[in-house]
Amino acid sequence: MHTPAALSGNGPTDFPGILRHHGLAPQPPAHTPVTGHHSPVTPTHATTILAFKFADGVLVAGDRRATAGNVIMYDRADKVLEIDRHSLMAIAGVPATAWEMARVLEHSFHFFRRTQLAEMSLEGKVRALSKLLRDNLGLVLQGVGVVVPIFATFDTAAGIPRVYFYDPMGAQFEAADFAATGSGSPAVRAVLHHENTYARKPLRKLKAPEAVLLALRALDTAAESDSATGGVDRRARVFPIVKLITRKGIETLPESKLARLYKANLAD
C-alpha cells in the first residue's frame, strides 16, 4: 500500500507544507519588489483592531470598516476570527490575505490535534502564524498583501491570558497588557494607556462589562480622527466585533448587548 510522503518521513509534516508538497496550495511568492511602476490594484484594507487583558481573560475587538484607498468598501467586515476554542486572530491589513491565513492556521491546529492526539503547544501556535507572515513577504514587498495581525489566547496550561502582535515580516512580540494595530491604532493605544495608567482601575482589574465599554470608547475615539476606522455607527446601528476569551472558551457579544451597553453608558 502506498504511504503518503508526509506520513513516511520523506516529506513536510506541517499542514501548509503538505498542501504545497501535493500541489494543493500555491508556493510562496518570490521576494522580489516591484520596481519602476506601481500596481494598478488598490487593495482593500481592514482596520482597526485591539486586544487587552481584563480580569477574566482577554478582550479582542475590531471595527467593521474595510476601505480601498478613500473608498469605503464594506461596513460590516469581521476582523476577529476564531481559530480554536481558546484562540482568536484579529486582522489589520488586506482581508483577502488575512482571511486565508486564518483558514490555514485553523486547519493547521486541527491537523496537529488529529494527527498527534494532542493540542499544539502555545509556542507552536504563535510561530505558525509567524511562518505564514514570512511566507507572505513577497506580496508585502510588492505592496499588495500587508497583514499586521494580533493573536490572543488563553493559556490553559498556565491559567493566564496571552496577547501577541506581529510586524508584516513575521516578528512576534508578547504584549504585557494590550496591543492595537491598524490605521486607528495610535488613538486606541493612547486611550488604553491612559486607562491602564491613570484611571481608577488598571485594565487587568476591569470586569467584562467595563472592558467592553472601554473597547467601544477606544474604537469610537479612533474613528474621530481616522476615516478608515468605523467605530460605532449610531445611524446604521453597526457596532464593532467584540469577543472575550476566558478559561471557559470564547464568547461573542451580540450587537443587541453592545447596543444596550452603549446606550446606557456612552450615548449622548
Q: Can you give the residue range of the structural domain that contains 162?
A: 42-265
186/149 Cα distance (integer angstroms): 15
Residue 260 lies in a domain: yes
The predicted-structure confidence for 157-173, as pLDDT tens digits, reads as follows 999 999 999 999 999 99
Whether the pLDDT of residue 231 is over 60: the answer is: yes
**Sorting pLDDT into bands at 50, 70 and 90, what band is 45?**
confident
The predicted-structure confidence for 188-214, as pLDDT tens digits, reads as follows 999 999 999 999 999 999 999 999 999
Residue 9 lies in a domain: no
Q: Which of 3, 35, 47, 67 is catalytic?
A: 47
Q: Do 75 and 236 contact (CB within 8 A), yes or no? A: yes
8-state DSSP, 25: S
**Sorting pLDDT into bands at 50, 70 and 90, what band is 47?**
confident
Whether the pLDDT of residue 154 is over 70: the answer is: yes
The CATH number of residue 47's host domain is 3.60.20.10
Mean pLDDT of 227-252: 93
Question: Is the CA virtual torsion 192, 93, 141, 31 positive or negative?
Answer: positive
The number of domains in the chain is: 1
Average pLDDT, the chain: 89
Residue 199 lies in a domain: yes
Q: Look up the pTM and report it.
A: 0.85
Helix, strand, coil content of the chain in percent (nearest 5) = 35, 25, 40
Whether the pLDDT of residue 40 is over 70: the answer is: no
**Sorting pLDDT into bands at 50, 70 and 90, what band is 27?**
low
Tally of residues, the chain: 268
Q: Is-catalytic flag, 47? A: yes
Q: Do 55 and 207 contact (CB within 8 A), yes or no? A: yes
Residue with C-alpha cell 467586515?
77
Mean pLDDT of 102-119: 95
**Sorting pLDDT into bands at 50, 70 and 90, what band is 61?**
very high
Residue 12 lies in a domain: no
The pLDDT value given to residue 1: 46
The pLDDT value given to residue 69: 85
Query: Which are the contacts of 59, defined by CB distance < 8 A and separation ≥ 6?
Result: 51, 52, 53, 208, 211, 212, 215, 242, 243, 244, 245
Residue 138 lies in a domain: yes
Residue 2 lies in a domain: no
CA-nearest of 44, 80, 38, 40 to 228 is 44
Q: Which residue has the higher pLDDT, 42 or 253?
A: 253
